[in-house]
Amino acid sequence: MKKGENFIKKVEETIKVISVERQADDQITITVDRNDLPEAVRILYYDLGGWLSSMIPNDERQLNGSFAMYYVLSMEGGKMNEGDELPQEEKCWMTVKAYLPANDPTFPSVTCKVPAAVWYEREAFDMFGITAVGLPDPRRLVLSDDWPEGLHPLRKDAMDYRHRPAAVDHKDEPDYDFLHPEGSKVLDVPLGPLHITSDEPGHFRLYCDGDTIIDADFRLFYQHRGMEKLAENRMNYDQMGYLAERVCGICGYAHAIACIEAAEKAVGLEIPLRAQAIRVICLEIERLHSHLLNIGLACEVTGNVTSFMQIFRIREYSMELAQLVTGGRKTYGNVVMGGLRRDMSGEEIKKSLDLLKIIEQQTKEVWDAVMDDKSQIDRWIGVGVLDKQVARDFSPVGPNVRGSGFKRDSRYDHPYDFIDKLDFNIPVEHGGDVFSRETVRYYELLESVSIIRQCLEMLPGGQTVISTRTLISPEAFGIGNVEAPRGENIHWIMHGNAQKVYRWRCRAATYNNWPSLRYQFRGNTIADAALIVCSLDPCYSCTERVTVIDVNKNKSKILTHKDLKQYSQTLKNSPLMKM
């Protein structure tokens, strides 16, 4: 029986499936009526063990006269309890598709049944004018508050997508409708940039009872670079790989691979094994320097600068390793359709193996030293807990979800490239707190060293790139997935004419991690807020400021970044206590 057949039958027991398409052996799309969309997604999500990996709104009026919605679910089992996981041979991607009339682009909100869809459906209205009827939180998500009404940038007829309204005086700028529990102290924490398809600052508000956070809200997407629109209009696929690398300064290679492999899978293009292995090596190098960065920052934000410096010393070796593999200290500029631009020499392989020994040994030594520091561990344990049910409801990814007891990893659930030929473990912790997330990252560092070593020792011979002068079928679409350092990255590509992309949807790991952050803040102190966000591992700047507002006393105080770090390191002498 083909993958996905059981899922299709289960859905058909309740609702009518209009059609079934297969993009690949493990990628299946079912089309349903728009009114059946919420129930179809709910059945796959909760009843059959799916997780919402992405949602793609699409303007297909030029193709079939309609808008379309694609809800992409990773079918792997709910994993709430022992044994609640699908056999490997049944794991696949199930996409639920529905057409929306051009003159009535509305559909019943899926969020009412699957909370993980909330950001996706808010974005669908911003970018396409597609309305999720009954959406519990219909506020803008991506577009700025002063963006013109009725202008939806990703519609195919939005030729004036570069239009921006004239600058307005700050006092006249529309206010975002933050949640605001009455009678509470409000802490605004601007943190940015975040990476999704853009670099952006973020405005956080923590609602506190005394020093305890009782709820939170945040506004992101302050800068949107329009990368999806740019790719649709001007770029070929190799150029898209370079653009995808710019989504994030840390895990850009993961985006390039996911983007290019989505295009490759849509047409069934198989790249050489040697190229597959080197792609995996680069992805794991990226995990090395990213996890070392985050563990170092999780120490530094609580005042442990010594550990931070020692970890960054080790991180330098990972950058040297990247230079041996790709020729640059970052792994960028190496991915093309059909393979890679650069091969590795025997001498580079030997030096890489030597560097791996150093990284492995010194990482273990520094981690042991951090674990011996009781004051450091006390700042991590029990802080920022991601409850298991909240995680199940919102589909977070990466160390964020593995730290809450879920064995979710795209390398494990949906192996790509050379991965299925390797032996490795998926570290899982069950505390759901900062300590659990950082512990997962530490053990993943050791696994990454092992994976890179295996790839180098087993490196197949042959070429690293093949010709891609294949006629790309218009309207063919496919999913590209990788396990980036922050979690699963999903890219979805529909091919157009003349070797151009018709629709590119880039979903970075942090996009799926943000919605549940509100619940991780609750019950913690203001001093732990920066640490909780750090453990999420978003891309954010360290040059922002904080405004603390005590609405009961009607007083405010501006805190610099230095003040915030000092406040995070000690409660006793914090600036807030001096107000």
Annotated binding site for Fe cation: 251, 542
Length of the chain: 579
> Alpha-carbon dihedral of residues 300, 216, 113, 398, nearest 10 degrees?
0
> Alpha-carbon dihedral of residues 387, 388, 394, 399, nearest 10 degrees?
90
At 231, give phi and psi (nearest 5°): -65, -40
Identify which of 508, 505, 513 has the alpha carbon closest to the alpha carbon of residue 262. 505
Distance, CA of 470 to CA of 499 (rounded, Å): 10
Annotated binding site for Mg(2+): 228
Distance, CA of 66 to CA of 86 (rounded, Å): 35
Annotated binding site: 228, 248, 251, 539, 542
Distance, CA of 426 to CA of 421 (rounded, Å): 15
CA atoms lying within 13 Å on the CB side of residue 63: 17
Distance, CA of 522 to CA of 208 (rounded, Å): 9
Distance, CA of 148 to CA of 71 (rounded, Å): 28
The encoded tokens of residue 475 equal 């309207």
Other CB atoms within 10 Å distance of the CB of residue 223:
13
Identify which of 204, 315, 183 has the alpha carbon closest to the alpha carbon of residue 544. 204
Cβ–Cβ under 8 Å, residues 76 and 426:
no
Other CB atoms within 10 Å distance of the CB of residue 229:
19
Annotated binding site for Ni(2+): 248, 251, 539
